[in-house]
Every structure is written in structure tokens, then in C-alpha cells.
Structure 1
Amino acid sequence: MNQDTKNTYGKDLGPIEHPLCKQLDRLVHSSVDRKNIFGVTLSVESGDRQLAWTGASGNLSADDSFFIASTTKLFITATMLKLRERSYIQLTDPISRYLDSDLISGIHRFQGTDYSRDITIKQLMAHTSGLPDYFQQKKATGSSLQDDIVGGHDQAWSFTEMLEDVKLMKPHFPPGQSGRALYSDTNYQLLGKIIEQVTEENLEDVFQQFIYEPLELTNTYMFANGSHQTPAPLYYKRTTLHIPQAMASFGPDGGIVSTAKEMMRFLRAFFEGELFPKSYLTELCAWNRIFFPLQYGVGIAKFQLPRIFSPFKTPPELIGHSGLSGAFAYYCPEKDLYLTGTVNQIANPGLSYKLMLRIVHAA
């Protein structure tokens, strides 16, 4: 057993190593090429828990914390569904029920009509609002916030500043237009603010009550600039990015830090009915295309390659979420397999999917 790899065995197997463990160990180590990927940490579990493996290679260890970026959106989804269960909200509620009209007025003006008050919670969760993406959409300056940040220009922004930028951008379609979806981090910034308005608490405290404490997640938290807690440094190509101000500003659309093991605990709870009624999951699977080969439902994503690009006769579905940082948390129903971790590389989002497909293929 390698020093940076740890295997945890299912109760039914006792000390017998699961046949997949050695393959997982090889896959993790072969993924680190020190050109595109400098470190990997990975957790894999079967639904019956007979396989429960965590490993790492390169400059990451199995217990290292890392920036999960947009995988944070699953935490927002779980929280919104918990609020729904407790009758605090309905997904069909317009956001104007919870957010001040002066604040949101003008965030969605399309072809002469202001739709800002009509956007619903469900449309935010499903990326069917048509709102501009404050992070990836270009500003009047010709560059996007993402361009600035991956270029090493760290900066902070507030919720209000983010909305002011959005008001200067063009929306893409009316809210809820059939068959239309556009991935926008703006949607989840608004959801985070709605959670705070409904609960009258800050978002991190709500996560603490609804998710961290019930699941005993002690190494999962919303990043705050100046904190003594430091996750593994992010990579953009061969360069490490030091962007604490940006990381602290992402908040509800991508600000959580976690570990592969704790992400696994969360992912299982998400799909197994510990955080909200399991019956809600069916409603989340209303898929729209966002960018090939990803589809988005209501607060969750689906990755499935077309058969022509897949080594599988029937390409498997992966359902969950990933982040720009290379972090991922997905469930494969066909194999009853959960996968969490990171390849910790911003420049090539496809690397995490290639690793997951290699694991699913091995299983």
C-alpha cells in the first residue's frame, strides 16, 4: 500500500481487499502527469458500501482539503429542498417574494420587458432564468471576471456589486422559455441571498445547521479571506493561483472547501434521502442542455457521452456536479457508484470527467 493511499473496507468483507482497490490505486497514480495534473485526491464507494476507497497521488494527500468551486451548488440545492420540506418556500415562488424590488429591478431586461420580478426559484436552480453570468460573461471592458481571475488578478466583490454588473449585461432569453437553459453563476448568488432572507441567518450558519452538523462534516466550510484554514493551492496550467479574495466572494455559487471523504458523506446523503425527502430527486431530473456533453436539471447536472464517443455500449450517466477547480461529486446509477474528489486543475475541466469515466469503466 502506498504511503499516500488509504483503503477502507466494507463491513461484510472484513480484512479482504475489494478487487477494485488496486485498480483505483493505479488509476490515481497514473493520472498525475505533472504537466496537466499535479495532484489528485479521490473517494469511491459502492451503494452497498462493500467498496469504500479513498486515495491520493502527486502533491495531494487523501485528507487534504480543496476548493470545490461550483460543486457548492449541490449544497445550495440541498438547502433549498430542505426549506421546501419545511414549507419556508415553494420552488414556483417568484424571487420578488424574498428580494427587495429595488435590489433586483433591471437584472433581467429582455427586448424591452423587465422580467426581474417574475423569475422563480426553480428557474434559478435550473439555469432557465436567462440571466447573464456575472463570472463568465464579458463586461464592457471586453474581458470577463473569470479572465481576470485566472490571469492572476485577485479581487473581491459584494452581492450588490455583482448585481450592478449584471444589470449592465444582456440577458439571453425570457425566464422559463421552453427548452432553453444557460449556466449562470448569477442564479446561485441570488439563491444564496434568498436562503439568508428566509432564514434570517447568514449562509454559512444555515449550512452548519442543515448539512455540516447532521453529517458531522468537520473539514467542510465556506472559505473566508483571512481564515487560518488553507485549502490546497489551485492550479491554472502549471501555475498556482493565489486568489483568496475571489474565493471568499464566490459564496453560494462556488465558495466551499471540503475533502474527498466529506464530499462523499455529503453526496451519499444527498441521494439517499438524509438531507431532504428522497422523492424530490425525481423532480430534479428535468434535463436541458447547457454545454456539451452536460445537461442541467433542477439544481443538479448530468454528464453522459454520446455512444459514438463512449467505450460503453450504453454510456453511463453521472449525476451530481463539478467545479471549475477540477472538483467533482457524482453518482453513477448504472454501477451504483459514488465518486468524489478533485484533479485540481482549472485550465482543463474535462480532466475530471476522463478520470471518472476510467473508474466507471474499471468497475
Structure 2
Amino acid sequence: MPRSGIAALAAAAVLFPTAWATTAQAAPLNIRAGQASDDSRSTLRHDLDAITRKDGVVGAEALMVTGAGRYSARSGVADRTTGTPVPEQGYMRIGSNTKTFVATVILQLVGEGRSRTGKSLSLDDTVDKHLPGVVTGNGNDGKKITVRQLLQHTSGLFNYTSDEAMSVLTTEEDYRKHKRDTYTPEQLVGFAMKHAPYFQPGEPGKFAYSNTNYVLAGMIIEEVTGHDWREEVRNRITKPLGMSHTFSARNDATLPDPHAHAYYRFTDDGPLVDTTELNMSWGGSAGDMVSTTGDLARFWQALLGGKLLKPAQKAEMLTTVPTHDFLPGAEYGLGIIKRPLGDGQGSYWGHGGSTPGHLNDNGFTEDGKRGIVLLRSTNDSALGDGRDARADRLVADALRRTR
């Protein structure tokens, strides 16, 4: 049966600013030498090989951060046609990991009290205060939804990527016809407003992952600051941290070099299709960013290490609710996910992402000192739950090995 490729973003939490660096080459990774690093890198490479060999992933790259330094490993190829190896620090689409950047900007604005425009922002503000009349109709009411509920997916708003208007990537034919289509945030929210909410905002015990929440969050950033959310992410996060290989794709359907091609299977019995060319405007502030393993590791270290948020706002980010069936055993904060390591060994934090062709997994300790970023160049739902099980184990095992 065919599946909606574009709807893959809806599950992006678990897999799954201006174009700031669209032509820059990714810098080589500075890896410490030493036997321990060599052994660890060998283990990581072995685990990556298992993913490319057993899960049919065309290419994968992982970067591990430990107290002894950083090391990376790659497996598979970047291009099935040429057999070119997966590039070190290659660009990939990071899908819903974009949400963590957006949530960070929101929390920074909350901590600052007032923006340069003189407007203030609180997590308890209603959506309608900042975007009057945007969330309305079919039982939707922006006067009843708070900014906190947007960031935590407890608003109950329908996920626009599940609307029939987003079925443009259901088949390979539709992909080739619509891969350069452009969407505006207002259009995306409009798709959601055609539907009744899943539940009333803040209803106890309810959680529904919805990309609509983060498109609205991006719109609120622009309303409060007077700047596009991408500009705020650049000025507040990526530029200060030296993340020169992280940017919003906007309406650009291409990826800069070097990159691994993206591959997606539209039907369970169909071929893997090269989906590298794709306008990600349908993801917007819910999932249109591009990055590398090195840049993402730098971001997570800075965020969890307390360099991006004041203590009060970091505490808000890490205050969680259960995700229930969406991701059993996990909890969702404000743009961040807490998952158990297993065997009573604690938990880790991160936020994955999924696009038609690229998958992003990551996990870091609460202090940001240890962690891993894994990028895969194949999104093959024909594998079912097994597609992500091995990646989840790789992340958790890598963190356990560095305890």
C-alpha cells in the first residue's frame, strides 16, 4: 500500500535560518588520536555497518562525544549510482530536530522579558494574543491554547501533514511532479484548521505530536521580534556557536556539497527513489533545517550544557509529559525528548527528525558532556518498526559504553 512520504514528518520526533551556508564546505572533524578512541571508533563503525547491511540504509554517519574527545564513523555510500563514499561531515536534512532550535528561541525570548520591538512573551500567553484570528474554526480556538502547549504538543491541534492536501508525496509520480512546490506557514496552518482538534487544549493526560504547533511557534517568533524565525535562530544560536553548516533550506530544493543522497521507498514493494531534490517549505519551522553531525553535536552540547538558556528556562524545557503510544516510555519537554537508557541506567535527551530520505537520531546526557548524533540517508518504512530499532539501540549502547 502506498504511504504518504510527506506525512513522515509527523513521526519525526523519534526518528525523525535565510540559507546561511548553502555553498560552504563542511570542515574536517578534529578527532583525538589514541587507542581508546580507535577502539571506540571501531565499535561505532561496526554498529553502523550493521545498519547499512541489515536495514538496507544506503549511507550513515555518526559522531560520538565523550570526555576524551570526539570521534566519528561512516558506512555505506553517498550515491548508489556512483558508489561515492559517505562524506565526512556531509549535509543532511534534520527534519524535526528543527523544533528544538525553535523552542530554544522561544525560551530565550521568554527569559529576556521584552524583545527589541518592546513585545514580551510568556509560555502562558495564548496563541491568539500574538496571532489573533489565526487559530479558529472547526472547534479550534487560539484563545484557549498557550505557547507552552504548542511546544509540548498538548494543544490538541490537528497535524497538518496528515491533511489530504499534503498527499503530494504519496507516490513516486507525485514526488517528481511536486518536489519543488512551495508552501507558506499560513497555508500549512490553514490545512490544520480544516479539522477539529484531537482534544481540548491541555486536557489532562493527552499528548498529540503535531507539526502545526511548531509552525505556529515560528510565526510567534516573527510577531514578537519582527524577524523571521530563521534569522533569530541564526543570530541567537548557529552564528554564536560557529555552526556554519546549519541553516534553513527555505524554498531551496537542493543540498550543498558534500552530502549523501536521500532515498525513500514510496511503496513497500517499490524501488528506493532518490529524493535528494525536495523543497522543504512544507516543513518550515517544524522541520526544514539542514545540518551536519558535527554542528548538531555542538548544538546539543551547548543547549544541555547551559550555554543557550538561563537556568529557569532550561528547567522549563526539561519539564516533561508522557508521550503515551506515540513513543512508549518516552517523555516530551519543550522541543526535547527524554528517553530511558534501559537496564535502570538512567535516561538521555534529544530530538530526532525524519524527512522523505533522511533520518536523524541523537541522544545526550542531561549535562551535554556525552552524546551521539546519527544521520541516515534512507527512509524505508517497508522495514516497519525495525527501521528505527537498530538506530535506537546504537544511540543507547553508545551512551552506555561511555559511562
**Same fold per superposition (TM over 0.5):** yes
Q: State the TM-score, normalized to the length of structure 2.
A: 0.76
Counterpart amino acid of residue 328 in structure 1: D
Q: Name the residue aligned to 2:331.
A: 295
Q: 1:286 aligns with which of 303, 320, 337?
A: 320
For the pair 1:233 / 2:258, whether they are aligned, the reply is: no
Query: Does the alignment pair 1:95 with 2:134?
Result: no
Q: Equivalent residues in 2 for 1:179-190 (5 A)?
A: 179-190=205-216
In 2, Cα distance between equivalents of 1:150 and 1:361:
44
Aligned to 1:309: none
Instruction: Give, in whole Å, the separation in 1 of the partners of 2:346 and 2:173.
Output: 32
**AA aligned opposite 1:292:** L
Partner of residue 25, structure 1: 45
After superposition, the Cα gap between the structure-2 partners of 1:226 and 1:185, relative to the gap in structure 1 and judged at 3 Å, is closer
For residue 38 of structure 1, what is the aligned residue in structure 2? 58
C-alpha deviation, 1:333, in angstroms: 4.7
Partner Cα separation in structure 2 for residue 68 and residue 289 of structure 1? 21
Q: Secondary structure at the match of 1:57?
A: strand
Partner residue in 2 for 1:169: 195
The answer to whether 1:352 aligns with 2:391 is: yes
Q: Is it true that 1:8 corresponds to 2:31 in the alignment?
A: yes
Cα distance in structure 2, aligned partners of 1:336 and 1:221: 24
CA distance in 1, matches of 2:291, 2:374: 9
Equivalent residues of 2:263, 2:273 under 8 A apart: yes
Partners of 2:111 and 2:340 in 1: how far apart?
Answer: 30
Q: Which amino acid aligns with 2:31?
A: T
Q: Following the alignment from structure 1 to structure 2, what is the Cα–Cα distance between the partners of residues 167 and 228? A: 30
Find out whether 1:214 has 2:240 as its counterpart.
yes
Q: Displacement, 1:361? A: 4.5
**Stretch deviating more after TM superposition (258-267 or 230-239):** 230-239
How far the C-alpha of 1:76 sits from its partner, in A, is: 0.7
Q: Secondary structure at the match of 1:282?
A: helix
Deviation of residue 171 (structure 1)? Answer: 0.9
SS in 1 for 2:283: helix
Map Cα deviations across residues 111-170 of structure 1 (whole Å, 9 max, x no partner).
xxx5222211000000000000001x243x8x7566468962533321122122112122
Matches within 5 A, 1:78-157: 78-87=104-113, 88-101=120-133, 103-106=134-137, 109-110=138-139, 114-135=140-161, 137-139=162-164, 144=167, 147=170, 152=175, 153-154=178-179, 155-157=181-183
More deviation, 184-193/249-258: 249-258
Q: Secondary structure at the match of 2:379?
A: coil
List alignment gaps of at least 5 residues for structure 2.
Answer: 1-27, 78-85, 114-119, 266-271, 382-386
The structure with higher relative contact order (CA 8 Å, sep 6+) is 2
Offset of residue 182 of structure 1: 0.1
Q: Which of 80-89 and 328-337 deviates more?
A: 328-337
> Does the CA-based 8 Å contact 1:342-1:352 persist in structure 2?
no
Q: What is the DSSP-based 3-state SS (H/G/I as helix, E as strand, rest coil) of the residue aligned with 2:45?
A: helix
Residue 10 of structure 2 is matched in structure 1 by: none
User: Paired residue for 2:302, among 248, 253, 269?
Assistant: 269
- 1:156, 1:96 → 2: CA distance? 26
Q: Which range moves more in the overlay, 54-63 or 327-336?
A: 327-336
1:94/1:117 contact within 8 Å kept: yes
Say if 1:15 and 1:35 are closer, same or farther in 2 by CA, change over 3 A: closer
The 8 Å contact of residues 42 and 62 in structure 1, kept in 2 or not, is answered as no
Q: CA deviation at 1:226?
A: 3.9
Matches of 1:253 and 1:117, distance apart in 2: 22
Deviation at 1:176, TM superposition (A): 0.6
Please report how far the alpha carbon of residue 99 of structure 1 lies from its aligned counterpart in structure 2 after TM superposition. 0.9
2 CA distance for matches of 1:285 and 1:121? 14
Identify the match of residue 304 of structure 1 among 309, 323, 340: 340
Distance in 2 separating the partners of 1:321 and 1:150: 31
C-alpha spacing 1:90/1:148, structure 2 compared with 1 (3 Å): farther
Whether the 8 Å CA contact 1:318–1:333 is kept in 2: the answer is yes
Measured after TM superposition, the shift of residue 227 of structure 1 is: 7.1
Q: TM-score, normalised by structure 1?
A: 0.84
